[in-house]
Chains A and B, each alone.
Chain A
Amino acid sequence: MSENLAGRSVTPTTSDGGDGQQTAVTAPTAEAGPPAQVGIEQRDFHLLAWLADRGIIVFTLALVLLAAAFVDGFASVDNITDVFNRAAPIGIVAVGMTFVVISANYLDLSVVAQVATAAVVLIGISNETNIPLAMLLALGIALVYGVVNGVAVGVFKANAVIVTLATTFMGLGILRWASGGSIYFGPEDSLIRSFGTTEIGPFPLSMIALIVIAIALHLVLTRTTFGFMVKSYGSNREATRLAGVNISLVVIGAFILSALGAMIGGFVLAAFSNTAVSAMSDGFDFEALAAIIVGGTSVFGGRGSVLRTLLGVVFVSVLTNIMVLSGLGFGYQQMAIGALIVVAVSVDALARRAAGI
């Protein structure tokens, strides 16, 4: 029977399929060894490679300077604070999702559902009971999201885009069904509200939260074994598995970090607007992905950094702000972000080819 099949099978077994798994009898206790930096040293100068690597710094600077010079109303403290206020939740989502992208799992679409759920739970539950309980519940939900996505992608080896598309619809469905689609308003004198309105200079507290979280996650990515494993898995999952790493746990970990980022992003968003509704996070998935990719983290996996994502967040937020100030509507903003994703990935792909990778 099996001979029959093998003899005429048109589909070869994919490398990450079961056949590879069955040979996974290597000693499970094998140490991962000192994880080598898998960076690709580039001696020759390639414009595209340079663009993919350093371009974001120049572009962000140029964009901010141009905006300050030519766009009316950009260079005011109020506007900068506004940019920060809008950038912070997306940024926190993006720095968490960076781990999923680096692990070569494309992205986590379900952050849309996660952010809205965290916001609605924070405001809705804290209105009924108290804030710590609401946060604890939101944390539990975030862990469920992370584990469900992570197990489906990491253990079942399912496609991350489709898995998270499914969990998005399930999550949003559950949220709308449970909340009845109603809008929750927080009280004016709550701790949540004061977090959302406190500013230190032009910096709202949410922006400081973003910076602190980004630095923490940067340390996780660059200084911990887990961080190295995520990068290694993104570069070459088969080699990582053969090195004795439990790759399922690495993927689950990446999705849990993404879920935690989305949860905190939801908290910050709720605190800023002091309201919560299931539709409040539309487009967070794309904007976060745009920030990650524009920052220079490769969708091909293995390469990237959290601080780059932070830069990407600044770029995307400033760009959106310029469009708003110039009176370009929602449609143009979406077009710009879509084009940004395609262009940034194209530059990355062409640079890799030019560099002969």
Chain B
Amino acid sequence: MSDDQGLVLTSQRTDLIGRLRTTLARRTEGRALALLVVVAIGAWITEPVVFTSYDVTLGRIALIGLVALGLTAVILMGELDLSVASTLAVAGVVMASIDNLAIGILAALVVGLVIGAANAFFVVVVGINSFIATLGMLFFLRGLGFVLSDEQPVRLSNIEAGISFGKPLIGDFTPRMLIFIATFIAMQIFMTRVRVGREFYAVGGNRQAAYDAGIPVRRRIFTGFMISGIVAAGAGAINTLERTAADPTAGSTVLLSSFAAAIIGGILLTGGRGSVFGTLLGATSLGILQVALTLSAVQVDVQNIIIGFVLFVAVITDPNSLRAVVGSARSYLRARTAPQPQS
């Protein structure tokens, strides 16, 4: 980040407004910010409870955002990890199947790492497109979750731990929120201040250039998928603790909301652009939206329609898409108005 700023400073634009404009032009969080403002104002007017009982809202944001934070690392490299939904379910089932809680949590996280490494193996070594590789894994792991659990919810043996896990730990913050905040801070530092994290942007921006610049692209992709896997597994462990049981069908709605959070947050699917903070904004606006809709007694089906619509709008309004539309509209108009070239 600081290198980029230095470049700007040495070029023509040194005044404050100019710097502000260049900074803003690079950001991709605009849509998330706009949605957040609209949703927050709407919720403020219709359901002010969203903000007065902010712990509920925060809990929902943490639920949506945690998996999305892990996904951010993968999407920034221009890849996609659809298997997070099943990773969450399998990790939860593995954790609940082990009697010792600590070993269970550890095993769940290891499962996440292994799944991430397997995804990366197919993407990097075999050379499959990550959309298809992780889609296959999504289905495979969903089946694995059913097989391991006998298609039944698996009860956690240590129920007391689960019950205390759902209670506020520091102030009004439950452990889930604290873990979410800690993950956010860790990811934010990793992606903006740590060399490896910065190199993720290079890999996503231009893979060949990154490779030529000496960045170990394959290793970075492995790291990214393992981050996404372990975060999803952690989310699975948290779910299992809070519900004191692991549900093999968990995670079907996670897919929609976590991708929605990351994409609304401005993480471009082509890679290279976006920020962890954007994902936080996306998750926050979605969380407020969901809680407000639930408080207004809107059915889950209708909530899904709204969130699906928001995701749809977000994915067709990213800068690349808009440029494509403007470009084709312009060439269409030009083709109609320009004199026909002789054939």
Residues of chain A having any CB pair with chain B under 8 Å: 1, 3-5, 7-8, 10-12, 14, 16-25, 27-29, 106-107, 152, 155-159, 161-163, 165-170, 172-174, 176-177, 181, 248, 286, 289, 293, 299-300, 329-342, 345-346, 349-350, 353
Majority secondary structure of chain A interface residues (helix, strand, loop or mixed): helix
Contact with A21, one of B136, B263, B305, B324 (Cβ below 8 angstroms): B324
Contact with B135, one of A22, A25, A28, A341 (Cβ below 8 angstroms): A341
Residue B15 interfacial (CB < 8 Å): no
Interface size of B in residues (CB-CB distance below 8 Å): 80
B312-338 with Cβ < 8 A to chain A: 312, 315-316, 318, 320-328, 330-331, 334-335, 338
Q: For B7, what are the chain A residues with a Cβ–Cβ distance below 8 Å?
A: 7-8
Residue B183 interfacial (CB < 8 Å): no
Asked whether B151 lies within 8 Å of A331 as measured between CB atoms, the reply is: yes
Asked whether A331 lies within 8 Å of B144 as measured between CB atoms, the reply is: yes
Question: What is the CA–CA distance of A279 and B54 in the complex, to the nearest angstrom?
Answer: 35
Given A11-B273, A14-B270, A27-B343, A169 contacting B206 (CB threshold 8 A): no
Asked whether A172 lies within 8 Å of B326 as measured between CB atoms, the reply is: no
Asked whether B11 lies within 8 Å of A7 as measured between CB atoms, the reply is: yes
B104 → chain A closest CB, angstroms:
21
Asked whether B126 lies within 8 Å of A25 as measured between CB atoms, the reply is: no
Asked whether B330 lies within 8 Å of A22 as measured between CB atoms, the reply is: yes
Show 18 A/B contacts (Cβ-Cβ < 8 Å), sorted by A. Answer: A11-B205, A11-B272, A19-B327, A21-B323, A21-B324, A24-B327, A25-B331, A27-B340, A28-B335, A29-B343, A155-B324, A155-B325, A158-B315, A159-B131, A331-B145, A334-B139, A338-B138, A338-B143
Majority secondary structure of chain B interface residues (helix, strand, loop or mixed): helix
Q: For B146, what are the chain A residues with a Cβ–Cβ distance below 8 Å?
A: 329-331, 334
User: Which of B30-38, B227-235, B296-304 lies on the face that meets chain A?
Assistant: B296-304
Asked whether B126 lies within 8 Å of A349 as measured between CB atoms, the reply is: yes
Question: What is the CA–CA distance of A289 and B22 in the complex, to the nearest angstrom?
Answer: 44
Question: What is the CA–CA distance of A12 and B272 in the complex, to the nearest angstrom?
Answer: 9
Q: For A174, what are the chain B residues with a Cβ–Cβ distance below 8 Å?
A: 301, 305
Question: What is the CA–CA distance of A130 and B259 in the complex, to the nearest angstrom?
Answer: 41
Q: For A23, what are the chain B residues with a Cβ–Cβ distance below 8 Å?
A: 331
Total A-B pairs, Cβ < 8 A: 224
Q: For B273, what are the chain A residues with a Cβ–Cβ distance below 8 Å?
A: 11
A113 → chain B closest CB, angstroms:
10
Asked whether A165 lies within 8 Å of B259 as measured between CB atoms, the reply is: yes
Residue B159 interfacial (CB < 8 Å): no
Asked whether A342 lies within 8 Å of B133 as measured between CB atoms, the reply is: yes
Contact with A334, one of B133, B140, B263, B335 (Cβ below 8 angstroms): B140
Contact with A173, one of B259, B301, B341 (Cβ below 8 angstroms): B301
Question: What is the CA–CA distance of A8 and B299 in the complex, to the nearest angstrom?
Answer: 48
Asked whether A169 lies within 8 Å of B136 as measured between CB atoms, the reply is: no
B13 → chain A closest CB, angstroms:
6
Contact with A4, one of B12, B131, B311, B343 (Cβ below 8 angstroms): B12
B268 → chain A closest CB, angstroms:
8
Q: For A28, what are the chain B residues with a Cβ–Cβ distance below 8 Å?
A: 335
Q: For A330, what are the chain B residues with a Cβ–Cβ distance below 8 Å?
A: 143, 146, 151
Question: What is the CA–CA distance of A10 and B209 in the complex, to the nearest angstrom?
Answer: 10
Given A7-B11, A167-B312, A174-B305, A342 contacting B140 (CB threshold 8 A): yes
Asked whether B140 lies within 8 Å of A8 as measured between CB atoms, the reply is: no
A152 to B, closest residue via Cβ:
B316
A177 → chain B closest CB, angstroms:
4
Question: What is the CA–CA distance of A336 and B330 in the complex, to the nearest angstrom?
Answer: 48
**What are the 6 A-B residue pairs with the smallest beta carbon separation, nearest first?**
A21-B327, A331-B146, A338-B140, A18-B323, A334-B143, A335-B143
Asked whether A158 lies within 8 Å of B126 as measured between CB atoms, the reply is: no
Contact with A162, one of B21, B147, B209, B259 (Cβ below 8 angstroms): B259
Given contacts A24-B328, A162-B269, 8 further A-B contacts (CB under 8 A): A4-B13, A8-B8, A27-B343, A165-B311, A166-B256, A170-B304, A172-B301, A330-B146
Asked whether B308 lies within 8 Å of A166 as measured between CB atoms, the reply is: yes
Residue B189 interfacial (CB < 8 Å): no
Residue B25 interfacial (CB < 8 Å): yes
Asked whether A339 lies within 8 Å of B272 as measured between CB atoms, the reply is: no
Asked whether B129 lies within 8 Å of A299 as measured between CB atoms, the reply is: yes
A20 → chain B closest CB, angstroms:
7
A163 to B, closest residue via Cβ:
B315
B116-144 with Cβ < 8 A to chain A: 122, 126-129, 131-133, 135-144
A17 → chain B closest CB, angstroms:
5
Residue B68 interfacial (CB < 8 Å): no
Residue B80 interfacial (CB < 8 Å): yes
Contact with A335, one of B80, B126, B144 (Cβ below 8 angstroms): B144
Asked whether A299 lies within 8 Å of B136 as measured between CB atoms, the reply is: no
Residue B107 interfacial (CB < 8 Å): no
Asked whether B140 lies within 8 Å of A17 as measured between CB atoms, the reply is: no
Asked whether B308 lies within 8 Å of A299 as measured between CB atoms, the reply is: no
Question: What is the CA–CA distance of A336 and B325 in the complex, to the nearest angstrom?
Answer: 41
Question: What is the CA–CA distance of A341 and B131 in the complex, to the nearest angstrom?
Answer: 12
Q: For B334, what are the chain A residues with a Cβ–Cβ distance below 8 Å?
A: 25
